[in-house]
């Protein structure tokens, strides 16, 4: 891409610029956009009338018009499996209003009544249970290896479940379990794509996972998917959509465990904070704290809540404080989270070390901030994450050190070696 722009503008090929366009949401200047458009055959008036990246060719569009039925969900699953693993677009194709509209549809439509399916070899409860037993391993693998490395395996696992749903015989009860399994695999595959910076692919997996959860008649699983969709909107500065999705998740989750309720409420609190709703954020944070207190020693928590421990709770609260400008409170929350977080959770540790670095910088502690950022680089090497690379580089750009400063040289050298 940079070579195309260089030819079209008689400039130099700066690859760091293209990286910022693709991963930081930076909008290319008009001459660069016109050079890209000429190469792609897009008319100049279309570039001038539509904002980046809306004028870019669609590639394969993300279809959202499937019916909220078992056949419609199977169509959505097969469409996702055909396109998602190849979709390497680093921007969100579906807009905030489209995502919120989809969430509202989910909330309004009754789950389909599944019946026994007799279309192939019989699938019994034992096989379904064995596949369900594999979910914790897949969650751990994605967190440890990073999204880019794990997403192909997750896509393959989702493909196996989809083929069973499409071509096998099973009872209505087994069908619900299989759709629930497909929903959770779609959520994990979506998060893996999100972590790798492949945002259109993430949207494919999540919107399809939402339908699968609906077929399983499991609103809590669906709410957890909406929570992930809300986080993606938050990361892209689409705070109103993030809040709408988070509120829909809370409202539509149905009866959930205390831990799950705390998770969903914290996502809403983060979106409230990002929107500047200080009082609403504090109100939701208090509700989340009460819910989390009730979760101590509770049994029957769904597997997808396993990552949400006391360290994660403090870290999410800290992010709310950052968005509300409470840097000292944020620093205390992140320090507490890191003190509690297991060493094995390298990706999460990297995330919160970077956030602590950001708070220290805001508090005028640049020396501490750069020291923390250097340690985050080592953690990202251990658990690759495109999102953490972007976060680390954003904090680096705010550091007051000259590029010739030995500490800055060490940090820049380390950042340059990071690959998600």
Q: What is the DSSP annotation of 82-142?
A: HHGGG---SS--S-HHHHHHHHHHHHHSPPP----B-SSSB--HHHHHHHHHTHHHHHHHH
What whole-number distance in Å separates Cα of residue 101 and Cα of residue 206?
14
Domains held by the chain: number: 3
Residue 93 sits in the same domain as residue 189: yes
**Res. 28: pLDDT tops 90:** no
How do residues 51-99 score in pLDDT, each as one tens digit? 677 676 656 789 999 999 999 999 999 999 999 988 877 778 899 999 9
Residues 362 and 325 in one domain: yes
- Do 41 and 93 have their domain in common? no
Quick one: what percent of the chain has pLDDT higher than 70?
91
- Which residue range forms the structural domain that includes residue 382? 309-420
Would you say residue 388 lies in a domain?
Answer: yes
H or E element that contains 247: helix 239-252
Letter string b/e over residues 347-369, b meaning 16 or more CB atoms within 10 A of that residue's CB = bbbbbbbbbbbbbbbbeeebebb
Q: Are residues 88 and 40 in the same domain?
A: no
Cα–Cα distance, 318 to 246 (Å, whole number): 18
| 114 is a domain residue | yes
Task: Give SS3 for 170.
Answer: strand
DSSP bridge partners of 117: 170
Mean pLDDT along residues 272-291: 98
Q: 209 and 104, same structural domain?
A: yes
If asked whether residues 43 and 84 sit together in one domain, one would say: no
Whether residues 370 and 392 share a domain: the answer is yes
At residue 214 the predicted structure's pLDDT band, cuts being 50, 70 and 90, is: very high
Q: Do 126 and 93 fall into the same domain?
A: yes
Tens digits of per-residue pLDDT, 376-420?
Answer: 999 999 999 999 999 999 999 999 998 899 999 999 999 999 876
Residues 208 and 164 in one domain: yes
Query: Does a structural domain hold residue 355?
Result: yes
Task: Please check the confidence at residue 38 and state whether its pLDDT lies above 90.
Answer: no
Closest CA to 233 of 275, 184, 170: 275
pTM of the model: 0.85
pLDDT tens-place string over residues 291-302: 999 998 777 889
**Average pLDDT for 105-117:** 85
Q: Which of 188, 217, 246 is the last residue of a domain?
A: 217
Q: Under the phi-then-psi rule, with left for phi > 0, alpha for psi from -120 to 50, and beta for the rest, what region is 113?
A: beta
**What are the CA-CA distances from residue 337 to residues 330, 332, 334 (Å)?**
10, 9, 5
Angle at 21 between CA 401 and CA 318, to 5 degrees: 60
Q: Tell whether the model's pLDDT for residue 20 goes beyond 70.
A: no
pLDDT at 2: 47
In a domain, 290, yes or no: no
- Are residues 99 and 41 located together in one domain of the fold? no
Q: Which of 21-30, 232-241, 257-266, 335-344 has the lowest mean pLDDT?
A: 21-30
Which one has a higher pLDDT value, 142 or 17? 142
Handedness of CA 347, 353, 356, 361 (dihedral sign): negative
Contacts of 70 (CB under 8 A, 6+ apart): 112, 114, 175, 179, 215
pLDDT of residue 11: 52
CA–CA gap between residue 213 and residue 60 (Å, rounded)? 24
Q: Which residues, in sequence order, are bridge partners of residue 122?
A: 169
What is the gyration radius of the CA atoms in the chain, in angstroms? 22
At residue 323, the 3 state secondary structure works out as: helix
Q: Is the peptide bond before 53 cis (omega within 30 degrees of 0)?
A: yes
How far from chain centre, in Å, is Cα 418? 20
> Which CATH number is 369's domain given?
1.25.40.10
Encode pLDDT of 168-206 as tens digits: 999 999 999 999 999 999 999 999 999 999 999 999 999
- The answer to whether 259 touches 309, Cβ cutoff 8 Å, is no
In a domain? residue 231: no
Express each pLDDT in 48-62 by its tens digit.
876 677 676 656 789
Residue 8 has a pLDDT of: 47
Statement: residue 156 has pLDDT above 60: yes
Partners of residue 282 on adjacent β-strands: none
Burial pattern 62-93, b for ≥16 Cβ within 10 A else e, equals bebebebbbebbbbbbbbbbebbbebebbbbb
Contacts of 202 (CB under 8 A, 6+ apart): 190, 191, 193, 194, 228, 232
For residues 354 and 373, is the Cβ–Cβ distance under 8 A?
Answer: yes
Are 21 and 135 part of one and the same domain? no
Instruction: Return d(Cα 143, Cα 145) in angstroms, integer.
Output: 6
- Both 185 and 71 in one domain: the answer is yes
Calculate the average pLDDT of the chain: 90
116, pLDDT greater than 90 = no
Alpha-carbon gap, residue 221 to 132, rounded angstroms: 14
- Residue 403's CB is within 10 A of a number of other CB atoms, namely 8
Q: How far apart are the first and last CA of the chain?
A: 20
Indicate whether 12 belongs to any domain. yes
Is pLDDT of 12 > 60?
A: no
d(CA 294, CA 364) in angstroms, rounded, equals 38
């Amino acid at each position: 891409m940079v070579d195309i722009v260089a030819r079209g503008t008689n400039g130099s090929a700066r690859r760091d610029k293209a990286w910022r366009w693709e991963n930081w949401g930076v909008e290319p200047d008009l001459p660069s956009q016109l050079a890209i458009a000429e190469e792609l055959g897009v008319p100049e008036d279309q570039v001038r009338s539509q904002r980046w990246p809306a004028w870019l060719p669609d590639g394969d569009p993300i279809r959202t018009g499937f019916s909220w039925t078992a056949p419609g969900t199977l169509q959505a699953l097969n469409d996702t499996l055909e396109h998602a693993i190849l979709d390497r677009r680093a921007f969100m194709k579906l807009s905030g209003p489209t995502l919120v509209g989809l969430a509202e549809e989910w909330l309004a439509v009754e789950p389909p009544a599944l019946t026994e399916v007799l279309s192939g070899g019989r699938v019994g409860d034992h096989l379904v249970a064995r596949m369900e037993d594999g979910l914790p391993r897949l969650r751990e693998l994605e967190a440890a290896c990073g999204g880019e490395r794990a997403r192909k395996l997750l896509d393959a696992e989702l493909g196996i479940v989809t083929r069973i749903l499409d071509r096998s015989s099973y009872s209505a009860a087994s069908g619900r379990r299989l759709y629930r399994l497909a929903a959770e695999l779609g959520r994990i595959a979506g998060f893996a794509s999100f972590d790798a910076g492949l945002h259109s692919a993430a949207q494919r997996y999540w919107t399809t996972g939402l339908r699968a959860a609906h077929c399983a008649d499991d609103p809590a699983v669906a709410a957890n998917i909406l929570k992930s969709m809300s986080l993606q909107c938050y990361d892209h500065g689409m705070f109103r959509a993030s809040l709408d999705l988070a509120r829909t998740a809370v409202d539509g989750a149905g009866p959930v465990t205390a831990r799950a309720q705390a998770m969903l409420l914290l996502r809403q609190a983060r979106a409230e904070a990002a929107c500047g709703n200080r009082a609403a954020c504090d109100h939701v944070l208090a509700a989340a704290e009460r819910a989390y207190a009730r979760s101590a020693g509770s049994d029957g928590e769904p597997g997808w809540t396993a990552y949400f421990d006391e360290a994660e709770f403090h870290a999410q609260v800290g992010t709310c404080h950052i968005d509300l400008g409470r840097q000292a409170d944020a620093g205390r929350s992140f320090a507490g989270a890191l003190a509690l977080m297991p060493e094995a959770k390298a990706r999460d540790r990297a995330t919160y070390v970077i956030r602590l670095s950001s708070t220290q910088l805001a508090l005028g502690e640049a020396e501490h901030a750069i020291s923390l950022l250097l340690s985050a680089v080592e953690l990202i090497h251990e658990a690759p994450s495109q999102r953490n690379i972007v976060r680390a580089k954003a904090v680096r750009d705010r550091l007051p050190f000259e590029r010739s400063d030995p500490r800055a040289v060490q940090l820049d050298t380390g950042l340059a070696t990071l690959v998600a």
